Structure 1
Amino acid sequence: MRPLVVTEFTTLDGVVQAPGGPDEDTAGGFAHGGWLVPFFDDTLGAQMDAWFAGVEDFLLGRGTYEIFAAAWPQAPTEDDPVAEALNTRTKHVASRTLTSLDWSGARLLEGDVVDAVRALRDRDGGELQVHGSPGLVQTLLRADLVDELRLVVAPVVLGQGKRLFGDGAIAWSWRLTSSAATPTGVLLCTYRRGGEVETGAMGAEYEDAVSG
């Protein structure tokens, strides 16, 4: 079984909608498209290149597929690991409305989405990466199919927009395996699946800690 890895650009309040441009996704009257752009720097770019280098194939929701397919096929692949990966690796697309795909290497998932993704994940090989695709990601989280979260957290609060976690997310813990901050204040955090949520009550240990 290979890992299913989700990479998301997110705000401090969990908004993942339209990080790359004003017209990327205006659904619901979203007016803050392009919110990540002021914080994107060479450090973040280098990390994205490194993450894309580990991909074997992609899993995309319809909206993200359409956004990517409108731009990346025209991007030069030389010296650009992101463009090279997106244009040469297989892209599995989850959609209830699309009947055909024009982007080379793109394939529609057939049948139940959760069953189809579980079959992809059960194969041997490299990373199955999901980028964007918030609706699909929420479905995958509810089905407990996400092995790793890579969150790019920008220091901005928007107060509206599509969120990473929605109603119905299963209660689960995540283990932080790496973290870094870029010069612009973006946090790069990688989490792997942990276990069941544990709870407790603050007592003497907490009082001792805060009292010094």
Structure 2
Amino acid sequence: MGKLTSTIFVTLDGVYQAPGGPQEDTRGGFTHGGWSFTYGDEDFGRFVGEVFRRAGAFLLGRRTYDIFAGYWPGMTDPADPIAGPLNALPKYVPSSTLTDPAWNGTTVLGGDLAKEVAAVKERTDGELQLHGSGALLRSLLELGLVDTVHLITFPVVLGTGLRLFPEGTAPMAFRHTGGRITSAGVSIQSYDRAGRPEYGDYSAPDAS
């Protein structure tokens, strides 16, 4: 059985929208696309390479799939650490509108999200990797299907844009499993799901 992992880029104020380019995702009149670009140093590239080497299959939201499918099939070097796995390994897209995907190795998941993703995890060797796809990540976290989140936080505040965890997100707790800081100041932290939050009271007397 595979492990479902998520790798997602966010700003200090929690925005995940359009990290890769100005036209990547302009929903809501978003004008800050490409905010991660200047932080892509060797440390960051090393981490990304490590992630893709562990991939057994990919799970992508429809918007992220369209962005990836518009670029990576044209990168034909099988030795490329990102293009190689993306083009060669199975790709799964939960969607009710994608009917005839052109990218080789793509399967559309059109039924019950929980059952279909659980079945894909069961038959995947290695990691079933979710990249970007913030709305899908939230849904899968609430369903209890995500094992690990790699939260990549960039030292920038935008003030507008889609937040990874907006108001109304279901409460959940995580356990920190590792991390590093790149030379450009990007915080790469890994978390495993740890059930629901626990609560206490700092003003309560010490029971010991």
Over the matched positions of the two proteins, sequence identity in percent amounts to 46
Structure 2, gaps ≥5 residues long: none
- Cross-structure match for 1:84: 84
Residue 121 (structure 2) pairs with residue 121 (structure 1): yes
**Structure 2 residue identity aligned to 1:172:** M
User: Following TM superposition, by how much is the alpha carbon of 1:167 offset from its aligned partner in structure 2, in angstroms?
Assistant: 4.5
- Cross-structure match for 1:187: 187
- Confirm or deny: 8 A CA contact 1:177 1:191 kept in the other structure: yes
Moved more, 157-166 or 177-186: 157-166
- Cross-structure match for 2:135: 135
- Cross-structure match for 1:8: 8
Measured on the aligned residues, the alpha-carbon RMSD in Å equals 1.8
Alignment of 1:87-106 (within 5 A): 87-106=87-106
- Confirm or deny: 8 A CA contact 2:95 2:110 kept in the other structure: no
Distance 2:86 2:140 in 1: 21
Distance 2:197 2:26 in 1: 35
Distance 1:188 1:83 in 2: 22
Distance 1:32 1:76 in 2: 30
SS at match of 2:184: coil
- Cross-structure match for 1:158: 158
User: Following TM superposition, by how much is the alpha carbon of 1:2 offset from its aligned partner in structure 2, in angstroms?
Assistant: 2.1
- Confirm or deny: 8 A CA contact 2:54 2:126 kept in the other structure: yes
SS at match of 1:81: coil
For these two proteins, the number of residue pairs brought into alignment is 206
**Structure 2 residue identity aligned to 1:13:** D
Structure 1, gaps ≥5 residues long: 207-212
Q: Give me the TM-score of the superposition, normalised by structure 2.
A: 0.93
- Confirm or deny: 8 A CA contact 1:49 1:82 kept in the other structure: yes
SS at match of 2:125: coil
User: Following TM superposition, by how much is the alpha carbon of 1:22 offset from its aligned partner in structure 2, in angstroms?
Assistant: 0.5
- Cross-structure match for 2:65: 65
SS at match of 2:50: helix
